[in-house]
């Protein structure tokens, strides 16, 4: 084994919110973690794509910005002293004679771990782009696939296209920032959270945003920068909208990368797991968060948190094979405590 190899109990592939929370759950059970992520910073999609996006479904937070959630998760994990390899992709996984693994990254960093936890969100990802005349001409010149800084859109005419949670949430948020927000969706109903959809309809009814349903993006035009977005409605009529920015939010195209060659059971770019402990078909390898799939799967951050807590109790047996996981309760001033 390489003398510069990093040794840890658990190697977590993916330093997004679920990977970070997994550090906390591991720490409670006295297990050490090393995290690897291809991005140059922790936080996954939250930090890379929409750090200022409001999130509404985290328990205890009526609203929290994505980057604030990442910062809080890092603070929560801090007492357990996780270590990180960032800006490197995991390329190889080699099982050792004792059942443990050595992970090798694109920069030849070696990590020896007793357990592998894949928490890579959607793996490598890129935004799904609309089929749109002149699209490439205006990318970076008015067409944005993510919102990193909402202030960039202050007092601007913004067109958002999409029908999921991101499109709804950003329409609600940017209504307070932009000069005018127009939300375009090809259907009459939304895929996102019903409460968010209700808020969008309310904003439209009060004239705070423009809502155009049953319409598709057709073309973008401008002189050196975006000036107009052309839509086609359900009657095949064109509608021209003044726009400084177009934000198509049609989701991400996931790519598992080298993980797809690890002998795991893959279904539509997601890893199949046993819901009793979120183990994969390969012993000592678990998958949690958006990268896994099972009947009834919901791709929510809080579901990933739940999966992390459950799987850590299963991983414990590989880190401490001679110990039985148990908890003792004591009473402190009449209150039960560990």
The predicted structure's pLDDT at residue 166: 85
Residue 106's pLDDT band (cuts 50, 70, 90): confident
The predicted structure's pLDDT at residue 24: 98
CA distance 242 to 240: 7
> Which of 40 and 139 is assigned the larger pLDDT?
139
Whether the CB-CB separation of 301 and 132 falls below 8 Å is answered with no
pLDDT in tens, 286-337: 999 999 999 999 999 999 999 999 999 999 999 999 998 775 555 545 554 4
> Which of 186 and 255 is assigned the larger pLDDT?
186
Whether the CB-CB separation of 108 and 228 falls below 8 Å is answered with no
Name every residue whose Cβ is closer than 8 Å to that of residue 108 and which is 6 or more positions away in sequence: none
CATH 3.50.50.60 in the chain, residues? 6-126+253-333, 129-250
CA distance 221 to 173: 26
Q: What percent of the chain has pLDDT over 90?
A: 72
The predicted structure's pLDDT at residue 337: 46
- 318 is known to lie in a ligand binding site: no
CA distance 279 to 326: 21
The predicted structure's pLDDT at residue 330: 52
CA distance 196 to 190: 9
- 96 is known to lie in a ligand binding site: no
Tokens of 65: 């910005």
- 68 is known to lie in a ligand binding site: no
- 24 is known to lie in a ligand binding site: no
DSSP string, 97-161: TTS-EEEEETT--EEEEEEEEE--TTBEEEEPPP--BTTGGGBTTTB-SS-S-GGGGTTSEEEEE
- 305 is known to lie in a ligand binding site: no
The predicted structure's pLDDT at residue 39: 80
- 50 is known to lie in a ligand binding site: yes
Lookup result for tokens 């790519």: 255
Lookup result for tokens 């002149």: 134
Residue 278's pLDDT band (cuts 50, 70, 90): very high
The mean-pLDDT minimum among 120-124, 197-201, 271-275 falls in 120-124
The predicted structure's pLDDT at residue 2: 61
Rg (CA), the chain: 23
Tokens of 286: 């678990």
- 137 is known to lie in a ligand binding site: no
Whether the CB-CB separation of 228 and 214 falls below 8 Å is answered with no
CA distance 267 to 86: 27
pLDDT of 338 over the 60 cut: no
Tokens of 100: 């443990």
Residue 178's pLDDT band (cuts 50, 70, 90): very high
Domain 129-250 CATH (choose: 1.10.3210.10, 1.10.540.10, 3.50.50.60, 3.40.50.1950):
3.50.50.60
| For residues 242-246, average pLDDT | 97
> Which of 225 and 166 is assigned the larger pLDDT?
225
CATH 3.40.50.620 holds for 6-126+253-333:
no
pLDDT of 194 over the 80 cut: yes
Whether the CB-CB separation of 13 and 90 falls below 8 Å is answered with yes
The predicted structure's pLDDT at residue 145: 85
Tokens of 38: 């291809």
DSSP string, 292-320: EE-TT----HHHHHHHHHHHHHHHHHHHS
CA-based nearest residue to 157, from 238, 257, 241:
241
């Amino acid at each position: 084994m390489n003398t510069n190899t990093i040794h840890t109990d658990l190697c977590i592939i993916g330093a997004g919110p679920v990977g970070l929370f997994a550090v906390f759950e591991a720490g409670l059970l006295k297990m050490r973690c090393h995290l690897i992520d291809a991005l140059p910073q922790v936080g996954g999609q939250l930090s890379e794509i929409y750090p200022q996006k409001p999130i509404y479904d985290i328990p205890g937070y009526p609203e929290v910005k994505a980057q604030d959630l990442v910062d809080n998760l890092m603070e929560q994990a801090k007492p357990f002293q996780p270590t990180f390899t960032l800006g490197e992709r995991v390329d190889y996984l080699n099982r050792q004679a004792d059942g443990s693994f050595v992970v090798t990254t694109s920069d030849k960093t070696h990590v020896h771990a007793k357990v592998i936890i894949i928490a890579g969100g959607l793996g490598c990802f890129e935004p799904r782009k609309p089929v749109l005349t002149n699209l490439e001409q205006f990318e970076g010149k008015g067409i944005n696939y993510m919102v990193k800084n909402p202030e960039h859109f202050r007092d601007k005419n913004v067109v958002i296209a999409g029908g999921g949670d991101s499109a709804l949430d950003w329409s609600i948020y940017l209504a307070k920032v932009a000069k005018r927000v127009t939300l375009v969706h090809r259907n009459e109903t939304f895929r996102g959270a019903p409460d968010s959809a209700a808020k969008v309809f309310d904003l439209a009814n009060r004239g705070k945003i423009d809502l155009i349903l049953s319409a598709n993006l057709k073309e973008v035009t401008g002189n050196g920068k975006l000036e107009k977005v052309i839509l086609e409605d359900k009657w095949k009529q064109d509608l021209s909208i003044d726009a400084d920015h177009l934000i198509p939010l049609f989701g991400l195209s996931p790519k598992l990368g080298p993980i797809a060659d690890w002998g795991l059971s893959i279904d539509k770019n997601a890893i199949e797991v046993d819901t009793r402990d979120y183990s994969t078909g390969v012993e000592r390898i678990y998958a949690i968060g958006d990268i896994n799939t099972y009947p009834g799967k919901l791709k929510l951050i809080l579901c990933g948190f739940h999966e992390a807590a459950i799987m850590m109790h299963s991983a414990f047996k590989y880190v401490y094979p001679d110990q039985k996981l148990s908890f003792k309760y004591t009473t402190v001033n009449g209150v039960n405590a560990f």
